[in-house]
Structure 1
Amino acid sequence: MKQRWLYFLRNWQLYILLLGPVAYFLIFKYGPMYGILIAFQDFNLFKGVTGSPWVGFDVFREVFGMSAFYKALRNTFMLNLADLLFSFPAPILLALLLNELTRARFKKWAQTILYLPHFLSWVIIGGIMLQVFATNTGIVNLLLGQLGIDPIPFLTNKYNWLITYLVVGVWQSAGWGTIIYLAAITGINSELYEAAAMDGAGRFRKMRSITLPGIRPTIVVLLILKIGEIVQISFDRPYVIGNVSVLDFSEVISTFVYKTGVQTANFSLATAVGLFQAIVGIILLLAANRIAKKITGNGVF
């Protein structure tokens, strides 16, 4: 106990600096968590949390009895799993390719161009998609028409929309994701590459035997976090890109909550769905972490 007190006295400045972030999380993250009580109430906006009557698990029974909820849940899993399959490996491959570039100026330009889409909001990206992929006025279909090819309904056929959704997602996120992997690559001991070169290893051999194993812990941690978000999905991307023609695929949990919970002021339903997402996400995160630690020895915790 005495040693801990002496350690605190020697480093009291660090604890003072820590007060700000701790206060932020307590006030803005943990404080509002009392709002999950709404999921167990017939919430009335004017009566508030303390005055609304309790209904137990009736709201959850209502949610689980809605066919629209299962459709949105299915689409959420489908889009997130497809994103995991295509968008997750993209920054890894991109980082490996960028790491092999020898001309520093070209490498910087390439990185800048690849990072730019991350800073565009999905509203802007949605407008770009209309200009590029619209059936009658999009650039792509106009070019196809010049070649005598019939227009392709990229945004109105649900299967074409799914492919477009995934491709645009890779374009928007891959460049930014490479930052983490490039940082991990810089931490690999350069002597390993020198030793491999002396043994006659080529670039692909170095990439496979040194670079990939070197960033494996980073890949595992990010994969675990990604799996934990399988049941979570952003609102803006499917809402902006989606339309009534592709609701079979574009209606996800976030848009379901907005339409059936927020627009109709059914806040109890919206909170119940959010709580369900959080619980499932925690279970998936813990399961993925446990499996990863058994297989690779690396995990988040």
Structure 2
Amino acid sequence: MIFDDLRALASWALRRARPGDFEAVGGDIERTCRQYSGDGQFSPASAAVTAGALTRAVAFMQHGAGEANIAAIRTLLDRDGERLDLMPPGDINKRWRTHSDGLQQLIWQAMDPRLNNVERLRYRSCTSRPRPPVTNDPAITNRTRHIPQLLWRGWAARLLPPEGIRSVDKFRASLAVALLLPGWSQRRYEPLIAMLHHTRQFDVHYMIAELADQGHDSVFTALCEIAEYLDARPVPIDYERRRELVGSDLLPAEAWTAICTKTGTHPGTAPGC
């Protein structure tokens, strides 16, 4: 598979070559590669062009997904320009999905600044381990059981912007839904909101966009990391079971009032989440 990776990167580097790209391998090869007029789909007849392109491809992959490698791939992406911006992430995934996990991770990390907020979460491009979503991924259903309707107070406090938020409950609800986005195969929030049994309306898209606009998109990385943690480890509380147990006949209002009166507790004005 590594040879397929190198061939794809070498071809891409030739198609999007600019003056100076091949200077590291010598002036003669630099001039030869600049004069290359092929489309990159077939092996060039010139050994010098082949050597220059493969040397640059090896440099892309040599140190894994380091900052220099990501920046080099991002340069090629920028040269694809408007054509790339018109392509949905799914089409980009089709182009690279037969290549190694390492190269795919490099591509998605380089793509991160070009993706919208939802896609950054779905593809986990804001992490060091990005990967495309999978249709009908059972991990999403399993993760639902590990997430409350409102994000845990401790995590909400950590992720809350310093300047605050207008509605903490909506913030917690939105981030709980956003925890289901990593790996989610759709771009719609509604099924995820339903999976957590929410009955009140709130705008997850607006809340996530507001975080990004305020410069707090590091929250996206945190959400992806929490989601990965929940997928990989057993969680003692089954929140889905709790949601299914909630009902009007679980604890009659009279019994609840009696308990509150006996313990001196305010009975509240609305059911909790």
More helix by share: 1
Sort the TM-score into its range (normalised by shorter chain): under 0.3
What TM-score do you get using the length of structure 2 for normalisation? 0.25
What TM-score do you get using the length of structure 1 for normalisation? 0.23
